[in-house]
Amino acid sequence: MTFLLWSMFAIAFISLFLTWILRRYALSRSLIDVPNARSSHSVPTPRGGGVAIVLSFLMTVPLFWGAGELSMDFMFAVLGAGGGVAILGFLDDHGHIAARWRLLGHFCAAMWALFWLGGLPAIDVAGIVVNLRWAGHIVAAFYLVWMLNLYNFMDGIDGIASVEAICVCLGACFLYWLSGFDSLMVAPMALAAAVTGFLYWNFPPARIFMGDAGSGFLGITLGLLSLQAAWFSPKLFWVWLILLGVFIVDATCTLIRRLLRGDRVYEAHRSHAYQFASRRYGRHLPVTLAVVAINLLWLLPVAACVALLDLDGALALVVAYVPLVIVAIKFHAGKLEDS
């Protein structure tokens, strides 16, 4: 345990230091996110700091595998898929890659990860074990691609993507510890540590943005962690979906409304509920802190009922999501800004 704690401190410090370097690099190369009509910020800010999260996490994955803390399958899955998505995002941050090629790369990364993880395991739905077999691979691929894209969509105000990742990872670790799945704690703890180092620079008002490299990496890695957990126990998959509720609900409600309106969903916009909320309150900080509160005071207790009290996962998911959908609608998720 002492080794693990010191490792987490080291990862956080490496991420903190790398973010400082990346900020200087972005300023020297004029890699600045300049506010425009679709931005949620008003001050030009360096971007691409999420690379620090990627490097500080991925460089430790082989070390944890060597120490027997991570499986070889998970190591290859996250190194290939996470690293590939991060490289694609880094290239897009420095130029522009057409949406269709980004999407192709995302599916390739998902298929690579699923090859190593074994696809989607059997899931318990209302007491019935559902095994989709080969179709589960297709479902899991779309799930991973949606996860990495929704995380990109939700990284729109200072600190929100960082605090979400930290809350979800530490919440999962806490429930792993209480429910006897201690062996699963290492990867989410390491990811939380890497994001914590970056958050020092990204907390409102942000001094550097995460960029597509970091947000896409976080999205697919969190998806991989949820699938890894599902192979140990089907109820843990529901736990992860519940903990990720804030991002999943806001992004999905926004996407559905924009699809129904006929919008080009791959184009930048600022019609997520959290973006409307940040404009209503005039600052990013209250919204970012609200996400922390929702995670700790609502989603974590509901997830705990699944992990510790064997509440049906599908039922708990509905219970957890309904208030979030109401909040998303209240804050006009997916509506045109002038409406």
Mean pLDDT for each consecutive 10-residue tract of the chain (339 residues)? 85 98 92 72 86 98 95 98 96 85 96 95 82 89 97 95 98 97 96 98 96 96 97 96 98 95 82 95 96 98 97 96 97 83
Give the pLDDT score at 126.
78
d(CA 193, CA 16): 10
d(CA 4, CA 64): 9
Residue 338: which of 43, 37, 41 has the closest Cα? Answer: 37
The tokens for 278 are 């940040």
Domain boundaries, the chain: 2-30+42-330
Give the pLDDT score at 36.
66
d(CA 89, CA 79): 15
Residue 248: which of 223, 225, 214, 269 has the closest Cα? Answer: 223
- 3-class secondary-structure state, position 337: coil
Give the pLDDT score at 264.
81
Give the pLDDT score at 39.
63
Give the pLDDT score at 30.
82
What's the whole-model pTM score?
Answer: 0.96
Length of the chain as a residue count: 339
